[in-house]
Amino acid sequence: DTKQESLSFQTEVKQLLHLMIHSLYSNKEIFLRELVSNASDACDKLRFQALKDNALMADDADLRIRISVDKENNTISIEDNGVGMSRAEVVQNLGTIARSGTAEFLQNLSGDERKDSQLIGQFGVGFYSSFIVAKAVDVYTRKAGLDASEGVHWHSAGEGEFTIGNVELPERGTRIVMHLKADELEFVDNWRLRSLVKKYSDHISVPVQMLQENHPADADADAELEGDEPKVEAAAVAPSWDNVNSAKALWTRPRSDIKDEEYQELYHHISHDFGDARSWSHNKVEGKLDYTSLLYIPKKAPFDMWNRERVRGLKLFVNRVFIMDDVEQFLPLYLRFVKGIVDSNDLPLNVSREILQNDATIETIKASLGKRVLDMLSKLAKKKPEEYQEFWDEFGQVLKEGPAEDMANKETIAKLLRFSSSQSGDEAQTVALSDYVARMAEGQAKIYYVCADNHQTAKNSPHLEVFRKKGIEVLLLTDRIDEWLMGYLQDFDGTEFADVARGGLDLGDIESPEEKESQVKANDEHKDLLARIKGLFEAEVQDVRMTHRLVESPACIVVGDNDMGAQMRRIMESAGQ
């Protein structure tokens, strides 16, 4: 190596490495999936860059990934002829974690292996997972377009630091050599690796190749017993590689041919999520527009779902060629938890993010993808209510942004909302508006709700007294976004919403004419008292009235019909308005 230097991993990497090795141990075989996934990304990136600059392919245009073992040295190599990395890129990509929110994520780890492995899974394990089974890793890489002399050799034992130096590499791409730990030698086995590739990476559209089974380089047990030198024999015969995976873009295959596990593995690859998807929707659209979409709803929310800078969006392909990641334009913001791919036959291969921003085709695709997701959720809610509830617990707060953003689908979204209510008993948001409407009392014309900071306050609100007395259900809204949401939901299926803490509460036919009359009378009778109280609080209140709202409490404060609610006011205040 020339210009050799020793560098320290970023602190976060050290922490992650340590935690990963311990908490992902029971899933250790996923290292292969991660490395093949990276190799496949590297091939996709090169294919894309070569659209503009074909010279990058040089004389090596058949992109592939090759896996081999060396039984003598107990190593596994994963090699691709993809885009490769420059020295600076290696330092950046294999020495740091660039994601914002990483420090918070690490703080959330508890030391409980099971919980932590879940969290790490959501975070994405990636390249560093190689250290679960390797005591040391070598990376040899050369960026496409650079000189053979600009090859880079990275080496680390996964402990605090790595070394990096320049080496001559005649071939473009990346080779990763894993030196297995003494008790992980089970992986130095072609059969084992083949079955792992089949299991985890069959959907990869780049060929994943291994040496043919009966090839002498694949030193079998007999040869070893007889003391043969596998290496010598291998040199005598040109190695012959065969494809282990089906190497066809999964989404181009007919749905009926694709197994659930295959869908899940593609999900792992594109989402970098270690856990499974809850459901997916795979569709081919032909006609005026021609595209295929495959959309996934994750099971778990990512740890940084509320981080504004978080990358989101779908992977875009044009005619099977990978174009770019994280295309935000295909889905509304309130469906930002959805992962997936769009493969378009209409967009030009040189499409850019700028073009995507104001393109009518994209708008049309966006509208129909949004519908598909809502459709998928509606079906889930209907057919698997328990699973839908789990979805809601993870992503409900995001979905609540929907009615404001997506007027066209407001009604569909309203059906998907779940709330806590005075009837449901606890904080869990389990009541659908259709459940509420079905339970409405005789004479009840509105859907009543109360907004508060937390469940306890909502439940004990004096505004609920009359409803409790009359046995009427009230939705208890305690998420920050709720009051804002209600501003966009005027009615559900024709039944209006009413905030019980607002203005002159009209209980409609729930109140008998006598009750109504006695309220009017009371206000009249106590005119003077009301005027005096109003005088005392002149600066604070607009009006003081007698009410039938209360049963036990002597008084309560209500908000004017058109004024901002208390929750909303606090949000505006905290936003500095």
Q: Which is nearer to Mg ion, 38 or 81 (CB)?
A: 38
Is 307 within 8 Å of 102 (Cβ atoms)?
no
Please report, for residues 2, 169, 372, the alpha-carbon distance to residue 139 in angstroms, rounded to integers and kept in the order given. 15, 12, 42
Q: Considering CB under 5 A, how many residues would be counted as binding Mg ion?
A: 2
Binding flag, residue 68, Mg ion (CB under 5 A): no
Is 201 within 8 Å of 265 (Cβ atoms)?
yes
Closest CA to 459 of 427, 435, 428: 427
Binding flag, residue 164, ligand ADP (CB under 6 A): no
Residue 8 one-letter amino acid: S
Strand stretches in 95-240, DSSP E: 134-142, 151-156, 161-167, 173-180, 208-211
Residue 129 Cβ, how far from Mg ion at the closest point, in Å? 9
User: Any alpha helices (H) in 317-423, and if so which ranges?
Assistant: 353-357, 360-383, 385-399, 402-405, 410-416
Q: Is 122 annotated as a binding residue?
A: yes
C-beta nearest to ligand ADP: residue: 126
Distance from C-alpha of 195 to C-alpha of 208, rounded to nearest angstrom: 12
**Applying CB under 5 A, which of residues 23, 38, 201, 519 lies at the interface with Mg ion?**
38
**Applying CB under 6 A, which of residues 18, 272, 284, 548 lies at the interface with ligand ADP?**
272
Q: Is 127 annotated as a binding residue?
A: yes
Partner whose footprint covers residue 101, from ligand ADP, Mg ion, none (CB < 5 to 8 Å by kind): none
Q: Establish how many alpha carbons lie within 13 A of residue 127's alpha carbon, considering only the half-sphere containing its beta carbon.
A: 25
Stretch that binds ligand ADP, among 121-129, 194-202, 365-373, 375-383 (CB under 6 A): 121-129
Q: Is 80 annotated as a binding residue?
A: yes
**Applying CB under 6 A, which of residues 47, 71, 126, 298 lies at the interface with ligand ADP?**
126
**Residues from 426 through 465 that contact ligand ADP (CB under 6 A):** none
Residue 8 Cβ, how far from ligand ADP at the closest point, in Å? 18
Element (H, E) at 315: strand 314-318
Distance from C-alpha of 171 to C-alpha of 143, rounded to nearest angstrom: 9
Stretch that binds ligand ADP, among 81-89, 309-317, 382-390, 484-492 (CB under 6 A): 81-89
Q: Is 160 annotated as a binding residue?
A: no
Distance from C-alpha of 309 to C-alpha of 370, rounded to nearest angstrom: 22
Q: Which is nearer to ligand ADP, 93 or 368 (CB)?
A: 93
Q: Which is nearer to Mg ion, 34 or 276 (CB)?
A: 34
Binding flag, residue 42, ligand ADP (CB under 6 A): yes
Distance from C-alpha of 454 to C-alpha of 475, rounded to nearest angstrom: 13
Distance from C-alpha of 355 to C-alpha of 49, rounded to nearest angstrom: 18
Stretch that binds ligand ADP, among 20-28, 36-44, 301-309, 364-372 (CB under 6 A): 36-44
> CB within 8 A of 117, min separation 6: which ones?
23, 24, 26, 27, 274
Stretch that binds Mg ion, among 120-128, 282-290, 546-554, 558-566 (CB under 5 A): 120-128
Closest CA to 437 of 450, 448, 424: 448
Residue 99 Cβ, how far from ligand ADP at the closest point, in Å? 9
**Applying CB under 6 A, which of residues 80, 202, 304, 465 lies at the interface with ligand ADP?**
80
Give the x-and-dash track for 123-162 against Mg ion (CB under 5 A). Answer: ---x------------------------------------
Binding flag, residue 121, Mg ion (CB under 5 A): no
Residue 340 one-letter amino acid: G
Axis crossing angle, helix 113-123 with helix 11-23, rounded to the nearest 10: 130
Q: Is 85 annotated as a binding residue?
A: yes
Q: Which is nearer to Mg ion, 269 or 549 (CB)?
A: 269
Pairing of strands 446-451, 495-499: parallel
Q: Is 412 annotated as a binding residue?
A: no
Partner whose footprint covers residue 80, from Mg ion, ligand ADP, none (CB < 5 to 8 Å by kind): ligand ADP
Binding flag, residue 34, ligand ADP (CB under 6 A): yes
Helix (H, G, I), strand (E, B) or coil at 532: helix
Distance from C-alpha of 230 to C-alpha of 419, rounded to nearest angstrom: 67
Residue ranges that bind ligand ADP, judged by CB under 6 A? 34, 38-39, 42, 80, 82-85, 93-94, 124, 126-127, 174, 272
Binding site for Mg ion (CB under 5 A): 38, 126
